[in-house]
Structures are given as C-alpha cells and as structure tokens.
C-alpha cells in the first residue's frame, strides 16, 4: 500500500510539473483517500493550491503536513501561504522556524518579506547574516547595498559594493550602484567612470543607460546624453518617457525638427501622453501654419488637473 501511494503521488507530481493541475489534484486526492495524513502529498497539494491562488486552502494542508512532520520545508511553505494572505507576522514566524530547522533557503524568503513590508533594518540585518554565515554570493551583497541605499546610507552601501567588485569585477550591477551612489553624492567624474564600466560589461541594460544619460545631462554633455538615450530607444522603442525627454533636450538645443519627430511619434502611439502633448503644442502654437493645432492640443491640457495645465494656459493667453 505504501508503494502504491508513493507511485500515485509521484504521478501527481509529474502532472503538476506538466501544468496539468486537475490530474495532479486527482492523484493527490487518491493518496489522501488512502492515507489522509500523508505529509508529502499534503505538502504537494498545498503547492498546487498556491499555483491556483487558493491561499487559505494551501495554508490548511500545509498546517496539516507540518503537524504530521514538522520539518523545515513544510514550515517554509506554510510561511509562503501566509504571506499571500498578508499575514506577515505569522509568515515571519514560520520562516524563522524553517531557518532554525536548517533550511538556509528560508533566508531569501525572510529578506523578501522584510523588503516587501518596508522593514529595511531587518532586511539589512538578515542580509548581513547571510553574507557572514551562509553565502558569499555577490547577489546578496548587491541586495544589501540596495537596502543601505534605500536608507540613504551611501558609505555603507559603497563599502559593500567595493567588496563585491573585488570578488566579481565584471558584475555590471555592482558598477551601476557604485555609479548611482557617486551620482547622489555629486561625485560626477567617479559616477561617469563607474557607469561606463557597467555599460562595458552589459551594454543594453536599461538602468545603466538611463543613469548614464542622467550623469551626462548633469555634466552638460548633451551629445553623450542623446547617444545613451538613442541606445535605450534602440532596445526599447516604446520607452516614451525617454523619447519625450530626448525631445525636450533637442528643443533646448535648438533642434526643433528632430524634437518634432520624436513628439509626433510618441503621440501617435500614446495619445494621452501629457508631457508630449504640452511640448508638441508649444511648438505648433509658435508657427503660423500649425498655430490652430497647437491651440487645440494645449486646450486639451487645460480641461483637467495635471502638471501641464497651468503652463498650457499661459501659452494660450
């Protein structure tokens, strides 16, 4: 009989892995009809309920599995079911139980919980423990640095990132956050060098290209700013925030025709883009042949409360 339930359960697992949840559930129920306290199958059924977003049902079977066999895995999964029900303190309790029973995988869940609930100090403490006691992976150092940055503890973040840099020199994300910190501290030359290194190791990562553009803009290097933004737009043509920002910079540098093309492209795809509407209207209203179009665009902005309504009214006077 034990062999039979194992086989039925294992067939259920195969169905689950093939995303055939109904067949998996049928197998799990067959096992539980034979052995209602089978902890392995109860746990598997709980995982299936999590996939179906039936979080209370998942909790119920995880509790039963844990009561039958109070091991680290079942405690961890019970914690997951509680997180999805926004019962964060209870989830924390079971994640810590899982840790105490030797499952280091629970650290990631605990850190994710602390970050999700904005308990940054606890996230920092947990990540510091992971780095000292569990794993020297660079990813944990990056995550710790991000939490320090969230609290504006830039030197602490930089110290961690420098350790990560020595461990993995080609990790582009490390260089990105080093650049970010120098940028926030207004050390623009150091920020520029760091972000260039980040892009050298990953030349299409949007965050690095966006920060590079911001650094270049701050340093009044318009051509570099536009070059970084063009690279961003090559990878993601639908990034209308960057496309409109590019148009604004072009306008500020008396390159109106280029700006016009960018703004027209944006509004063709995103007709409700307020910033593009304002700047295109401001161009049109200054030309005799397009003045009426400009009035129409700016008038649209005055009908609702938005960041550009007051400016639009000024241009219409």
Whether 263 shows a pLDDT value over 50: the answer reads yes
Q: What is the mean pLDDT of residues 273-295?
A: 95
The two structure tokens encoding residue 263: 């703004």
Average pLDDT for residues 218-225, to the nearest whole number? 95
The arithmetic mean of pLDDT across residues 169-181, rounded, is: 96
Q: What pTM did the predictor assign?
A: 0.85
Task: Please give the pLDDT value at position 4.
Answer: 85
Place of tokens 């902890």: 39
Are 128 and 117 a contacting pair, CB within 8 Å?
A: no
- Give the integer Cα–Cα distance in Å for 165 and 258: 40
- What average pLDDT does this structure show over 214-234? 95
75 backbone dihedrals φ, ψ, rounded to 5°: -65, -40
pLDDT band at 189 (very low <50, low <70, confident <90, very high): very high
As given in the structure block, the two tokens for residue 282 are 């401001």
**Shortest CA distance to 240 belongs to which of 215, 274, 203, 283?**
274
What is the model's pLDDT at position 3? 59
Break the chain into its structural domains and give their ranges: 239-317
Whether domain 239-317 has CATH 1.25.40: yes
Residue-wise pLDDT for 88-141, tens only, equals: 999 999 999 999 999 998 999 999 999 999 999 999 999 999 999 999 899 999
Cα-atom radius of gyration of the chain, to the nearest Å?
28
What average pLDDT does range 219-224 have in this prediction?
A: 95
Q: Is the pLDDT at 148 greater than 80, yes or no? A: yes
- Euclidean distance between CA atoms 139 and 136, whole angstroms: 9
Stretch 190-205: mean pLDDT, rounded? Answer: 96
- Give 16-28 pLDDT, tens digit per residue: 999 999 999 999 9
Question: Does position 1 have pLDDT exceeding 60, yes or no?
Answer: no
| Average pLDDT value for residue range 235-246 | 95
Mean pLDDT, rounded, of the chain: 95
Note the pLDDT tens digit of each residue in 32-59: 999 999 999 999 999 999 999 999 999 9
Tokens of 138: 């660079």
Whose structure tokens read 């009214």? 313
User: Which three-class secondary structure string do you get for the chain?
Assistant: CHHHHHHHHHHHHHHHHCCCHHHHHHHHHHHHHHCCCCHHHHHHHHHHHHHCCCHHHHHHHHHHHHHHCCCHHHHHHHHHHHHCCCCHHHHHHHHHHHHHCCCCCHHHHHHHHHHHCCCHHHHHHHHHHHHHHHCCCHHHHHHHHHHHHHCCCHHHHHHHHHHHHHHCCCCHHHHHHHHHHHHHCCCHHHHHHHHHHHHHHCCCCHHHHHHHHHHHHHCCCHHHHHHHHHHHHHHCCCCHHHHHHHHHHHHHCCCHHHHHHHHHHHHHHCCCCHHHHHHHHHHHCCCHHHHHHHHHHHHHHHCCCCCCHHHHHHHHC
């Amino acid at each position: 009989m034990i062999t039979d339930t194992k086989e039925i359960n294992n067939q259920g697992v195969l169905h689950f892995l093939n995303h055939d949840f109904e067949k998996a559930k049928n197998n799990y129920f067959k096992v539980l009809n034979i052995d209602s306290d089978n902890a392995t199958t109860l746990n598997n059924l709980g995982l299936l309920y999590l996939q179906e977003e039936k979080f209370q049902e998942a909790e119920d079977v995880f509790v039963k599995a844990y009561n039958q066999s109070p091991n680290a895995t079942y405690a961890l999964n019970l914690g997951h079911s509680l997180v999805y029900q926004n019962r964060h303190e209870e989830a924390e309790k079971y994640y810590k139980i899982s840790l105490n029973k030797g499952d280091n995988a629970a650290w990631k869940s605990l850190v994710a919980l602390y970050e999700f609930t904005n308990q940054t100090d606890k996230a920092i403490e947990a990540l510091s423990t992971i780095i000292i006691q569990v794993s020297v992976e660079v990813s944990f150092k990056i995550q710790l640095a991000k939490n320090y940055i969230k609290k504006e503890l830039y030197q602490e973040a930089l110290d961690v990132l420098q350790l990560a840099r020595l461990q993995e020199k080609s990790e582009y994300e490390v260089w990105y956050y080093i650049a970010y910190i120098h940028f926030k501290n207004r050390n623009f030359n150091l920020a520029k060098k760091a972000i260039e290194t980040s892009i050298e190791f990953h030349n299409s990562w949007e965050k690095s290209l966006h920060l590079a553009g911001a650094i270049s803009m701050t340093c009044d290097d318009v051509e570099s700013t536009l070059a970084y933004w063009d690279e961003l737009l090559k990878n993601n043509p639908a990034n209308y925030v960057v496309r409109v920002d590019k148009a604004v910079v072009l306008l500020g540098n008396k390159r109106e025709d280029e700006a016009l093309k960018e703004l027209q492209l944006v509004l063709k795809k995103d007709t409700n883009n307020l910033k593009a509407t304002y700047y295109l209207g401001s161009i049109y209203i200054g030309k005799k042949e397009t003045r009426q179009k400009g009035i129409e665009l700016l008038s649209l902005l005055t009908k609702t409360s938005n960041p550009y309504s007051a400016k639009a009214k000024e241009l219409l006077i």
